[in-house]
Structure 1
Protein backbone atom coordinates (compact mmCIF):
# COMPACT_ATOMS: atom_id res chain seq x y z
CA UNK A 1 0.00 0.00 0.00
CA UNK A 2 1.24 3.50 -0.84
CA UNK A 3 2.60 5.31 2.20
CA UNK A 4 3.06 8.89 0.95
CA UNK A 5 0.45 11.60 0.58
CA UNK A 6 1.44 13.98 -2.23
CA UNK A 7 -0.22 17.38 -2.47
CA UNK A 8 -0.30 18.87 -5.96
CA UNK A 9 -2.07 21.93 -7.29
CA UNK A 10 -1.64 25.53 -8.31
CA UNK A 11 0.23 28.05 -6.17
CA UNK A 12 -1.85 29.48 -3.35
CA UNK A 13 -4.12 26.46 -2.95
CA UNK A 14 -2.66 25.59 0.46
CA UNK A 15 -0.27 22.73 -0.30
CA UNK A 16 2.47 23.78 2.13
CA UNK A 17 0.30 24.97 5.01
CA UNK A 18 -2.12 22.04 4.71
CA UNK A 19 0.75 19.59 4.22
CA UNK A 20 2.53 20.69 7.38
CA UNK A 21 -0.60 20.26 9.52
CA UNK A 22 -1.67 17.04 7.78
CA UNK A 23 1.73 15.49 8.48
CA UNK A 24 1.27 16.22 12.20
CA UNK A 25 -2.22 14.71 12.22
CA UNK A 26 -1.11 11.59 10.34
CA UNK A 27 2.21 11.37 12.21
CA UNK A 28 4.21 11.44 9.00
CA UNK A 29 7.29 13.39 7.99
CA UNK A 30 6.65 16.59 6.03
CA UNK A 31 8.62 17.48 2.89
CA UNK A 32 8.14 20.62 0.82
CA UNK A 33 9.93 20.11 -2.51
CA UNK A 34 10.43 23.85 -3.08
CA UNK A 35 11.96 24.29 0.39
CA UNK A 36 14.23 21.30 -0.21
CA UNK A 37 15.38 22.77 -3.54
CA UNK A 38 16.14 26.07 -1.81
CA UNK A 39 18.04 24.29 0.95
CA UNK A 40 20.05 22.22 -1.51
CA UNK A 41 20.91 25.05 -3.94
CA UNK A 42 21.27 27.82 -1.37
CA UNK A 43 19.00 29.97 -3.57
CA UNK A 44 15.36 30.96 -3.25
CA UNK A 45 13.02 29.77 -5.99
CA UNK A 46 12.63 33.34 -7.36
CA UNK A 47 16.42 33.67 -7.38
CA UNK A 48 16.83 30.38 -9.30
CA UNK A 49 14.31 31.63 -11.88
CA UNK A 50 16.02 35.03 -12.13
CA UNK A 51 19.58 33.74 -12.27
CA UNK A 52 19.21 30.45 -14.16
CA UNK A 53 15.69 30.41 -15.63
CA UNK A 54 12.73 28.06 -15.44
CA UNK A 55 14.50 25.23 -17.29
CA UNK A 56 17.14 25.01 -14.56
CA UNK A 57 14.50 25.13 -11.84
CA UNK A 58 12.51 22.32 -13.47
CA UNK A 59 15.71 20.26 -13.67
CA UNK A 60 16.34 20.77 -9.95
CA UNK A 61 12.70 19.92 -9.31
CA UNK A 62 12.96 16.61 -11.21
CA UNK A 63 16.02 15.61 -9.19
CA UNK A 64 14.28 16.50 -5.93
CA UNK A 65 11.11 14.60 -6.87
CA UNK A 66 13.17 11.51 -7.67
CA UNK A 67 14.81 11.77 -4.26
CA UNK A 68 11.72 12.45 -2.10
CA UNK A 69 9.48 9.97 -3.94
CA UNK A 70 11.66 7.16 -2.58
CA UNK A 71 10.95 8.17 1.00
CA UNK A 72 8.27 6.38 3.04
CA UNK A 73 5.52 7.64 5.32
CA UNK A 74 5.65 11.29 4.23
CA UNK A 75 3.35 14.11 3.32
CA UNK A 76 4.95 15.78 0.31
CA UNK A 77 4.00 19.28 -0.79
CA UNK A 78 5.05 19.96 -4.38
CA UNK A 79 5.54 23.08 -6.43
CA UNK A 80 2.60 24.08 -8.60
CA UNK A 81 4.31 23.04 -11.83
CA UNK A 82 5.64 19.66 -10.73
CA UNK A 83 2.93 17.91 -12.78
CA UNK A 84 4.17 19.48 -16.02
CA UNK A 85 6.77 16.70 -16.28
CA UNK A 86 5.17 13.25 -16.70
CA UNK A 87 8.22 11.61 -15.10
CA UNK A 88 7.58 13.59 -11.90
CA UNK A 89 4.01 12.31 -11.75
CA UNK A 90 5.16 8.73 -12.41
CA UNK A 91 7.78 8.93 -9.62
CA UNK A 92 5.35 10.41 -7.10
CA UNK A 93 2.63 7.86 -7.91
CA UNK A 94 4.92 4.88 -7.26
CA UNK A 95 4.57 5.28 -3.51
CA UNK A 96 2.09 8.12 -3.17
CA UNK A 97 -1.55 9.05 -3.30
CA UNK A 98 -1.88 12.31 -5.23
CA UNK A 99 -4.33 14.84 -3.86
CA UNK A 100 -4.93 17.96 -5.93
CA UNK A 101 -5.83 21.07 -3.97
CA UNK A 102 -7.62 23.76 -5.94
CA UNK A 103 -9.10 27.19 -5.25
CA UNK A 104 -10.88 29.93 -7.13
CA UNK A 105 -8.70 32.48 -8.94
CA UNK A 106 -9.93 35.16 -6.53
CA UNK A 107 -8.93 33.04 -3.53
CA UNK A 108 -5.52 32.31 -5.05
CA UNK A 109 -4.87 36.01 -5.68
CA UNK A 110 -5.89 36.88 -2.12
CA UNK A 111 -3.65 34.15 -0.68
CA UNK A 112 -0.53 34.89 -2.70
CA UNK A 113 -0.97 38.64 -2.36
CA UNK A 114 -0.13 41.25 -4.89
CA UNK A 115 3.36 41.74 -3.46
CA UNK A 116 4.38 38.10 -3.30
CA UNK A 117 7.48 36.77 -4.97
CA UNK A 118 5.98 34.11 -7.26
CA UNK A 119 8.23 33.82 -10.33
CA UNK A 120 5.49 32.90 -12.79
CA UNK A 121 3.34 35.85 -11.73
CA UNK A 122 6.10 38.41 -11.25
CA UNK A 123 5.04 40.60 -14.18
CA UNK A 124 1.26 40.15 -14.24
CA UNK A 125 -0.42 39.38 -10.95
CA UNK A 126 -4.04 39.50 -12.03
CA UNK A 127 -7.16 37.36 -11.96
CA UNK A 128 -6.88 37.04 -15.75
CA UNK A 129 -3.30 35.73 -15.59
CA UNK A 130 -4.18 33.29 -12.81
CA UNK A 131 -7.18 32.07 -14.82
CA UNK A 132 -4.96 31.60 -17.88
CA UNK A 133 -2.33 29.62 -15.95
CA UNK A 134 -5.03 27.52 -14.23
CA UNK A 135 -6.59 26.71 -17.60
CA UNK A 136 -3.19 25.76 -19.04
CA UNK A 137 -2.40 23.46 -16.12
CA UNK A 138 -5.83 21.91 -15.56
CA UNK A 139 -5.17 18.90 -17.82
CA UNK A 140 -1.97 18.15 -15.90
CA UNK A 141 -3.75 18.15 -12.54
CA UNK A 142 -6.07 15.38 -13.77
CA UNK A 143 -3.42 12.85 -12.68
CA UNK A 144 -4.62 13.21 -9.07
CA UNK A 145 -6.36 10.43 -7.20
CA UNK A 146 -8.51 12.95 -5.29
CA UNK A 147 -9.48 16.62 -5.64
CA UNK A 148 -10.35 19.11 -2.92
CA UNK A 149 -11.44 22.70 -3.53
CA UNK A 150 -9.99 24.71 -0.64
CA UNK A 151 -11.97 27.88 -1.44
CA UNK A 152 -13.70 29.13 1.69
CA UNK A 153 -12.51 26.23 3.85
CA UNK A 154 -10.48 26.38 7.05
CA UNK A 155 -7.30 24.32 7.34
CA UNK A 156 -9.01 21.97 9.80
CA UNK A 157 -11.88 21.33 7.36
CA UNK A 158 -9.49 20.53 4.52
CA UNK A 159 -7.49 18.15 6.70
CA UNK A 160 -10.71 16.49 7.83
CA UNK A 161 -11.72 15.95 4.18
CA UNK A 162 -8.31 14.46 3.34
CA UNK A 163 -8.34 12.14 6.35
CA UNK A 164 -11.86 10.99 5.40
CA UNK A 165 -10.78 10.30 1.80
CA UNK A 166 -7.81 8.29 3.06
CA UNK A 167 -10.02 6.28 5.44
CA UNK A 168 -12.45 5.50 2.63
CA UNK A 169 -9.59 4.54 0.33
CA UNK A 170 -8.15 2.29 3.05
CA UNK A 171 -11.49 0.55 3.49
CA UNK A 172 -11.88 0.14 -0.27
CA UNK A 173 -8.34 -1.23 -0.50
CA UNK A 174 -8.96 -3.66 2.37
CA UNK A 175 -12.26 -4.82 0.86
CA UNK A 176 -10.73 -5.38 -2.57
CA UNK A 177 -8.04 -7.58 -1.07
CA UNK A 178 -10.53 -9.91 0.60
Structure 2
Protein backbone atom coordinates (compact mmCIF):
# COMPACT_ATOMS: atom_id res chain seq x y z
CA UNK A 1 0.00 0.00 0.00
CA UNK A 2 1.42 3.36 -0.95
CA UNK A 3 -0.38 5.67 1.46
CA UNK A 4 -0.24 9.46 1.31
CA UNK A 5 -0.60 9.77 5.08
CA UNK A 6 -0.45 7.61 8.19
CA UNK A 7 -3.35 7.77 10.65
CA UNK A 8 -2.75 6.34 14.12
CA UNK A 9 -5.83 5.22 16.01
CA UNK A 10 -6.27 3.36 19.26
CA UNK A 11 -7.30 3.63 22.86
CA UNK A 12 -5.69 6.31 25.02
CA UNK A 13 -2.28 5.27 26.27
CA UNK A 14 -1.45 2.99 23.36
CA UNK A 15 1.36 5.27 22.13
CA UNK A 16 -0.21 7.22 19.28
CA UNK A 17 1.55 10.53 20.03
CA UNK A 18 4.94 8.94 20.70
CA UNK A 19 4.81 6.77 17.57
CA UNK A 20 3.59 9.73 15.47
CA UNK A 21 6.63 11.73 16.55
CA UNK A 22 8.99 8.88 15.60
CA UNK A 23 7.34 8.30 12.20
CA UNK A 24 7.28 12.01 11.33
CA UNK A 25 11.00 12.28 12.07
CA UNK A 26 11.78 9.09 10.15
CA UNK A 27 9.89 10.11 7.00
CA UNK A 28 10.32 13.88 7.21
CA UNK A 29 6.53 14.23 7.32
CA UNK A 30 4.44 16.67 9.33
CA UNK A 31 3.23 15.32 12.69
CA UNK A 32 -0.33 16.27 13.55
CA UNK A 33 -1.83 15.75 17.00
CA UNK A 34 -5.56 15.86 16.27
CA UNK A 35 -6.46 17.00 19.79
CA UNK A 36 -3.96 19.89 19.52
CA UNK A 37 -5.45 20.82 16.14
CA UNK A 38 -8.91 20.91 17.73
CA UNK A 39 -7.67 22.99 20.67
CA UNK A 40 -6.06 25.48 18.30
CA UNK A 41 -9.18 25.80 16.14
CA UNK A 42 -11.55 26.03 19.13
CA UNK A 43 -9.29 28.20 21.33
CA UNK A 44 -10.00 25.87 24.26
CA UNK A 45 -8.53 22.74 25.82
CA UNK A 46 -10.15 19.35 25.32
CA UNK A 47 -11.28 19.19 28.99
CA UNK A 48 -12.77 22.71 28.63
CA UNK A 49 -14.65 21.71 25.48
CA UNK A 50 -16.09 18.63 27.20
CA UNK A 51 -17.08 20.67 30.27
CA UNK A 52 -18.43 23.78 28.51
CA UNK A 53 -19.91 22.44 25.28
CA UNK A 54 -20.25 18.68 25.82
CA UNK A 55 -19.00 15.59 24.07
CA UNK A 56 -21.30 15.89 21.00
CA UNK A 57 -19.86 19.35 20.22
CA UNK A 58 -16.32 18.02 20.70
CA UNK A 59 -17.01 15.08 18.35
CA UNK A 60 -18.21 17.49 15.61
CA UNK A 61 -15.04 19.57 16.05
CA UNK A 62 -13.05 16.34 15.80
CA UNK A 63 -14.62 15.49 12.42
CA UNK A 64 -13.89 18.99 11.12
CA UNK A 65 -10.26 18.66 12.26
CA UNK A 66 -9.89 15.28 10.49
CA UNK A 67 -11.13 16.80 7.25
CA UNK A 68 -8.83 19.80 7.62
CA UNK A 69 -5.75 17.70 8.42
CA UNK A 70 -6.22 14.79 5.97
CA UNK A 71 -8.27 15.68 2.91
CA UNK A 72 -6.26 16.85 -0.09
CA UNK A 73 -2.90 16.65 1.67
CA UNK A 74 -0.09 14.14 1.93
CA UNK A 75 3.00 13.51 4.02
CA UNK A 76 1.28 13.66 7.40
CA UNK A 77 1.32 11.41 10.42
CA UNK A 78 -1.90 12.04 12.33
CA UNK A 79 -2.31 10.90 15.93
CA UNK A 80 -6.03 10.83 16.67
CA UNK A 81 -7.81 10.96 20.00
CA UNK A 82 -8.97 7.60 21.32
CA UNK A 83 -12.61 8.24 20.44
CA UNK A 84 -12.11 9.64 16.94
CA UNK A 85 -13.08 6.25 15.50
CA UNK A 86 -16.57 6.31 17.01
CA UNK A 87 -18.17 8.21 14.11
CA UNK A 88 -18.60 6.42 10.77
CA UNK A 89 -17.81 9.69 8.96
CA UNK A 90 -14.44 9.87 10.74
CA UNK A 91 -13.58 6.27 9.81
CA UNK A 92 -14.37 7.02 6.17
CA UNK A 93 -12.17 10.14 6.17
CA UNK A 94 -9.30 8.18 7.69
CA UNK A 95 -9.41 5.16 5.39
CA UNK A 96 -9.82 7.31 2.28
CA UNK A 97 -6.78 9.44 3.09
CA UNK A 98 -4.09 7.22 4.57
CA UNK A 99 -2.79 3.99 6.02
CA UNK A 100 -4.83 3.53 9.20
CA UNK A 101 -2.84 1.84 11.98
CA UNK A 102 -4.58 0.69 15.15
CA UNK A 103 -2.25 0.68 18.14
CA UNK A 104 -3.34 -1.57 20.99
CA UNK A 105 -2.03 -2.36 24.47
CA UNK A 106 -3.14 -4.51 27.37
CA UNK A 107 -5.12 -3.01 30.24
CA UNK A 108 -2.17 -2.92 32.68
CA UNK A 109 0.02 -1.07 30.18
CA UNK A 110 -2.71 1.48 29.48
CA UNK A 111 -3.37 2.15 33.17
CA UNK A 112 0.38 2.58 33.80
CA UNK A 113 0.74 5.01 30.89
CA UNK A 114 -2.28 7.25 31.66
CA UNK A 115 -2.46 7.22 35.46
CA UNK A 116 -0.66 10.54 35.93
CA UNK A 117 -2.30 12.43 33.05
CA UNK A 118 -4.92 14.98 34.22
CA UNK A 119 -6.06 15.75 30.64
CA UNK A 120 -8.23 12.64 30.24
CA UNK A 121 -11.85 13.76 30.72
CA UNK A 122 -13.26 10.28 30.12
CA UNK A 123 -11.16 8.75 32.92
CA UNK A 124 -12.64 10.57 35.91
CA UNK A 125 -13.33 8.30 38.88
CA UNK A 126 -11.88 4.80 39.34
CA UNK A 127 -9.17 4.72 36.67
CA UNK A 128 -8.83 0.95 36.30
CA UNK A 129 -12.62 0.47 36.12
CA UNK A 130 -13.04 3.29 33.59
CA UNK A 131 -10.27 1.85 31.38
CA UNK A 132 -11.81 -1.63 31.58
CA UNK A 133 -15.30 -0.29 30.76
CA UNK A 134 -14.14 1.87 27.84
CA UNK A 135 -11.97 -0.93 26.43
CA UNK A 136 -15.03 -3.17 26.50
CA UNK A 137 -17.20 -0.55 24.82
CA UNK A 138 -14.59 0.06 22.11
CA UNK A 139 -13.52 -3.56 21.65
CA UNK A 140 -14.34 -3.57 17.92
CA UNK A 141 -14.07 0.17 17.25
CA UNK A 142 -10.61 -0.17 15.72
CA UNK A 143 -11.36 -3.21 13.52
CA UNK A 144 -11.55 -1.09 10.34
CA UNK A 145 -7.81 -0.29 10.46
CA UNK A 146 -5.54 -1.54 7.70
CA UNK A 147 -2.94 -2.63 10.30
CA UNK A 148 -3.10 -3.57 14.00
CA UNK A 149 -0.02 -3.45 16.27
CA UNK A 150 0.17 -4.30 19.99
CA UNK A 151 2.50 -1.75 21.59
CA UNK A 152 2.57 -3.27 25.10
CA UNK A 153 6.11 -4.66 25.04
CA UNK A 154 7.66 -2.95 22.02
CA UNK A 155 9.98 -0.01 21.62
CA UNK A 156 8.79 2.98 19.63
CA UNK A 157 11.47 2.20 17.03
CA UNK A 158 10.18 -1.35 16.56
CA UNK A 159 6.60 -0.12 16.20
CA UNK A 160 7.73 2.44 13.61
CA UNK A 161 9.64 -0.30 11.75
CA UNK A 162 6.48 -2.42 11.54
CA UNK A 163 4.45 0.52 10.24
CA UNK A 164 7.14 1.43 7.71
CA UNK A 165 7.11 -2.17 6.42
CA UNK A 166 3.33 -1.94 5.83
CA UNK A 167 3.71 1.44 4.15
CA UNK A 168 6.23 0.00 1.67
CA UNK A 169 3.84 -2.75 0.51
Normalized against structure 2, the TM-score is what? 0.94
- Post-superposition offset of 1:154: 1.4
- Post-superposition offset of 1:115: 5.0
Aligned 1:108-119 pairs, distance under 5 A: 108-119=110-121
CA-based RMSD: 1.3
Runs of 4+ displaced beyond 4 Å: none
Whether 1:93 and 2:95 are equivalent positions in the alignment is yes
The match for 1:38 is 39
Report the count of equivalent residues. Answer: 167
The match for 1:175 is none
The match for 1:77 is 79
- Structure 2 unaligned blocks of 5 or more: none
- Post-superposition offset of 1:114: 4.3
- Post-superposition offset of 1:65: 0.9
CA distance in 2, matches of 1:114, 1:99: 26
Name which of structure 1's ranges 28-37 and 108-117 shifts more when overlaid on structure 2: 108-117
CA contact under 8 A between 1:114 and 1:125: conserved in structure 2?
no
- Post-superposition offset of 1:130: 1.0
Aligned 1:26-175 pairs, distance under 5 A: 26-70=27-71, 71-126=73-128, 128-167=129-168, 169=169
Richer in helix (by share):
1
**3-state DSSP of counterpart to 1:140:** coil
- Post-superposition offset of 1:139: 1.4
CA distance in 1, matches of 2:166, 2:143: 17
CA distance in 2, matches of 1:20, 1:49: 26
CA distance in 1, matches of 2:65, 2:89: 12
CA distance in 1, matches of 2:98, 2:63: 16
- Post-superposition offset of 1:116: 2.6
Structure of greater Rg: 1
The change in CA–CA distance for 1:115 and 1:140 in structure 2 (over 3 A counts) is closer
1:55-110 per-position Cα deviation (integer Å, ceiling 9, x unaligned):
11101101111111212111111010011000011011112110000001111111
